[in-house]
Amino acid sequence: MKFEVYLDSVTGKSKHLVELEKNGSSYKVSLDGQGVDADVILTTPNAVSVILNGAAFEFHIAPTPDGAYRLQTGPHEFHAEVRDPRSWLARKQRALEAEGRQQILAPMPGKVIRLLVKVGDEVEAGQGLIVVEAMKMQNEIRSPKKGKVERLQAKEGQPVNAGDILAWVD
Amino acid sequence: MFRKILIANRGEIAVRILRACREMGIPSVCVFSEVDRSSLHVRLADEAYFIGPAPSRESYLRIDKLIDVARRSGSNAIHPGYGFLAENPALPRACADAGITFIGPSAETMETMGSKIAGKQLARRSDVPTVPGTDDPIENPNDVQSLARAMGYPVVLKAVAGGGGKGMRVVPNDEAFSACWRDASSEALNAFGDSRVFLEKYLEAPRHIEIQILADSHGRVVSLGERECSVQRRHQKVIEEAPSTIMTPDLRRKMGEAAVRLARAGGYVNAGTVEFLVDARLNFYFLEVNTRLQVEHPVTEQVTGLDLVKLQIAIAAGHRLPFAWETITPRGHAMEVRLYAEDPDNNFFPCPGKIVARRIATGPGIRLDEGVYRGWTVPLEYDPLLSKLIAWGNSREETIARLRRALDEYTISGIRTNVSLFRRILAEPEFLAGEIHTKWLDQLLARPRPPLVPPGPGTQAAAAIAAAYWASIQPGGAANGPSPAAEPSRWKLEGRRSQLDRQP
């Protein structure tokens, strides 16, 4: 199986092509077109151990609200987006989503305390839409694009979880 | 000894106290609000009672409910922990009325020693040095200005009703006095409805050093030595250690004696902390008394080998302190960092949420006091303290090396923590040299951050492989592709086929 991995860390962004081929109970791994000596296993429900040319790493992995992954190992952190190049349908949908209708997600769990717009309002990119309070701090959630507020899922006083859909902007 | 102890708190400190109870063979009774049903203190408790909605004023701050739970459960003692009601004299008073022992000082002691002005007056009476200044608010700015001149600049104006830096102005020189006076009193009026301010000598770059004391009800008061808590962010302690790097045996004896004198003068009983500011010439000045167990008490426990919570319980039960000495010399070095669910890259914004994975730090010289576990959602209603990571060793260097090692081992995913702040502090040459003061961290954070240690190419390659592998094992193919782990579901195949049919 082939995957495109878009990595983002303090050193910047990079793109890698990873191929995993099941080989008995383990995998044959190739990275950017070259076979590598890598052993990869799942150690605990959210941790992956990789031994690459003898160097051992353990990554703790958690999903992020934007559908990517956050990987941690020791002091290092990576943001990784993984795509399967064969899945053209998924990519097409993603592209449509990015340019068209935007979902506004709650970045943290909290409570909606104020709606700054109404359904049907025209908004500018960067304009505040909703105020979410978490631990006595107020955070304004802004529109990622210029457009019209299509739907408002959030209600004032409503508790929300990270990743909950609050509104759509089209 | 007590039949049962009610723990009027939550989180890591409730867990800490119930562990002490269990070691002493005393059943523990915990309380919980709506959002704490699944919290660790409730999971570990012998008995647990619901006390109301999430906001603390409707649950953890409700004295009536706590007394009611104590009665229903047959508890004859209450431990308040820190925060919430720990320094509210109304709780020991309600306990006394209900015939329950409060594990801490009496309400009267709390009032005389806990308040800033009353505490300062007591310190003066018991010959404990205080920061030079006025005891009482002064109404006439001209009188204050002449006093400031006599004392020598810089001075600081502080609101009588103040706290958190509001209504506080540092006056650098005589010319700036009237503007600072105006600002301080109007800010105090706006913030607290009380424009009165008092005057103190301003100490430049002082250290925060506190003395842990224990006092039994038979008149024995001992000092357990100091903790240095100079690393603070906006007046909140961030790292605590013992011993202090500037401590000398002579200074320790003097500060210990001053703290003991003050506790005696106030008739103090139980564990308490006397906070001091120490200037560059090792002059120390009384700051205030904390009439409770401190967050950073494990630091003292690690260098003295004593269990402060068990001693608190024994003192409250009327036992004598089992020591012959009045001051102690610490052994080795201990340091604590407070891990919070907050994002240091985003102005320390709180980041509550679900802990999806966790690997804890263990091994030589490491202690983890915490109230969290994998799968638990950190509630957004309370202080976002997750864990206290404590390291100890033979020397400060060994302790710091252990703490660094433990911070790399300790991984929490799903929420953000301030762990990167500690990595930065523990690498700062000034911190390593012990050249710290109460403004040091705020100054450090105002400086541009040194570049993070970049991951090596091997780490990067391994991360790409780990991410791809992780995506491949997600049910439903979270990588936007089919899952290789299982046969695709026939429902899914059928769904896809019908979708394809619809494409022109």
Domains by residue range for chain A, with CATH: 2-88 (3.30.700.30), 97-169 (2.40.50.100)
The closest of B353, B407, B356 to A47, measured between CA atoms, is B356
**Counting one residue from A and one from B, how many pairs have CB atoms under 8 Å apart?**
188
Query: Of the candidates B380, B460, B481, which has its C-beta nearest A134's C-beta?
Result: B380
Any chain B CB within 8 A of the CB of A80? yes
Q: Are strands B349-350 and B377-378 parallel, antiparallel or unpaired?
A: unpaired
In this structure, the number of other CB atoms found within 10 A of the CB of residue A86 comes to: 14
The last residue of a domain, from among B87, B103, B119: B103
The active-site residue, picked from B10, B169, B196, B292, is B292
Domains in chain B, number: 3
Q: What are phi and psi of B144, to 5 degrees?
A: -65, -40
A90 Cα to chain B: minimum distance (Å): 6
B356 vs A contacts (CB less than 8 Å): 46, 62-63
- Domain harbouring B166, CATH code: 3.30.1490.20
Any chain B CB within 8 A of the CB of A45? yes
- pLDDT, one tens digit for every residue, chain B (504 residues): 999 999 999 999 999 999 999 999 999 999 999 999 999 999 999 999 999 999 999 999 999 999 999 999 999 999 999 999 999 999 999 999 999 999 999 999 999 888 877 888 899 999 999 988 876 777 788 888 888 888 888 898 888 766 656 778 889 899 999 888 888 888 888 877 788 888 888 888 899 999 999 999 999 999 999 999 999 998 889 999 999 999 999 999 999 999 999 999 999 999 999 999 999 889 999 999 999 999 999 999 999 999 999 999 999 999 999 887 766 778 999 999 999 999 888 788 888 888 988 899 999 999 999 999 999 999 988 988 999 999 999 999 999 999 999 999 999 988 889 999 999 999 999 999 999 999 999 999 999 888 888 898 899 999 999 999 999 988 755 444 333 333 446 666 666 666 665 544
Any chain B CB within 8 A of the CB of A168? no
Whether B248 is covered by a domain: the verdict is no
Instruction: Say whether A73 and B463 touch across the interface (CB within 8 A).
Output: yes
With vertex at residue B254, the alpha carbon angle to CA B249 and CA B259, rounded to the nearest 5 degrees, is 125
Is residue B99 domain-shared with residue B141, that is, in the same domain? no
Instruction: Say whether B359 and A60 touch across the interface (CB within 8 A).
Output: yes
Is residue B143 domain-shared with residue B89, that is, in the same domain? no
Query: Of the candidates B359, B407, B484, which has its C-beta nearest A1's C-beta?
Result: B484
Instruction: Say whether A52 and B461 touch across the interface (CB within 8 A).
Output: yes
Is residue B98 domain-shared with residue B137, that is, in the same domain? no
Whether B57 is covered by a domain: the verdict is yes
- What 3 state SS string does B248-273 have? CHHHHHHHHHHHHHHHHHCCCCEEEE
pTM of the model: 0.79
Is residue B11 domain-shared with residue B65, that is, in the same domain? yes
The closest of B352, B361, B355, B350 to B373, measured between CA atoms, is B355
Instruction: Say whether B468 and A20 touch across the interface (CB within 8 A).
Output: yes
Instruction: Say whether B451 and A48 touch across the interface (CB within 8 A).
Output: no
Clarify whether B292 is annotated catalytic.
yes
Any chain B CB within 8 A of the CB of A115? no
Is residue B69 domain-shared with residue B19, that is, in the same domain? yes
A40 vs B contacts (CB less than 8 Å): 465-466, 469
Is residue B99 domain-shared with residue B9, that is, in the same domain? yes
The domain in which residue B191 lies consists of 132-201
Any chain B CB within 8 A of the CB of A105? no
> CA dist B431 to B140, B367, B419, B441, Å?
43, 22, 16, 10
- Give the contacts of B78 (CB within 8 A, at least 6 positions apart): B5, B6, B7, B8, B66, B70, B91, B95, B100, B101, B102, B103
Whether B291 is covered by a domain: the verdict is no
A87 Cα to chain B: minimum distance (Å): 6
The last residue of a domain, from among B103, B124, B145: B103
Q: In this structure, what token pair is assigned to residue A133?
A: 């309070």
3 state DSSP class of A57: strand
Instruction: Say whether B408 and A75 touch across the interface (CB within 8 A).
Output: yes
DSSP alpha helix (H) spans, B29-74: 40-44, 63-73
Query: Of the candidates B377, B413, B479, which has its C-beta nearest A82's C-beta?
Result: B479
Give exposure, B58-72, as e/b (b: 16+ Cβ within 10 Å). Answer: ebbbbbebbbebbee
- Domain harbouring B72, CATH code: 3.40.50.20
Give exposure, A100-123, as e/b (b: 16+ Cβ within 10 Å). Answer: eebebbbbbbbbbeebbbeeeeeb
